């Protein structure tokens, strides 16, 4: 069974840090690109970060550059999102997705149809 399962979300205060995890099963993890997206209520989906299949090339949305770091562990079949200096505007449901490496330059705009798999998401709330 193919699955991407996110974890690590929660309620934090502005300035705090969180690390999200997304663990994969049921498919070949090493050959695909992975990305984190987020969607806040009433807002469009936003591309947060992307990492290539080797883990040596990363991309970030403008709003998170310098604060978030994406990484992957092939042995654990897990992709991580380290989020530092969180702001209230980071509040959203965060989900991970897997897609073909051929699409990596278009990662921020990959549609649901272009994703091979995606998780159900984990809620991050940043509030005083």
Instruction: Quote the pLDDT of residue 26.
Output: 84
Q: Is the dihedral of CA 63, 67, 72, 76 positive or negative?
A: negative
pLDDT higher than 90, residue 29: no
Taking the C-alpha atoms of residue 7 and residue 82, their distance in angstroms, rounded to an integer, is 12
Residue 126 backbone phi and psi in degrees, to 5: -115, 110
Report, as an integer, the average pLDDT of 117-128. 96
pLDDT higher than 90, residue 27: no
Instruction: Quote the pLDDT of residue 92.
Output: 98
Q: Write the pLDDT tens digit of every residue in 66-105.
A: 999 999 999 999 999 999 999 999 999 999 999 998 999 9
Mean pLDDT (the chain) is: 95
Answer with the residue of higher pLDDT: 111 or 95: 95
Q: Is there a contact between 23 and 5 (Cβ–Cβ < 8 Å)?
A: yes
């Amino acid at each position: 069974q193919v699955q991407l399962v996110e974890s690590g979300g929660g309620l934090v205060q502005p300035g705090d840090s969180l690390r999200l995890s997304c663990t994969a099963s049921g498919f070949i993890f090493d050959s695909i690109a992975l990305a984190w997206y987020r969607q806040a209520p009433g807002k469009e989906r936003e591309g947060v970060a992307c990492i290539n299949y080797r883990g040596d090339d990363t991309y970030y949305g403008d709003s998170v550059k310098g604060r978030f770091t994406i990484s992957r562990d092939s042995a654990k079949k897990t992709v991580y999102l380290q989020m530092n200096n969180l702001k209230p505007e980071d509040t959203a449901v965060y989900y991970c997705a897997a897609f073909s490496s051929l699409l990596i330059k278009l990662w921020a705009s990959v549609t649901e149809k272009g994703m091979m798999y995606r998780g159900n998401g984990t809620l991050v709330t940043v509030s005083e």
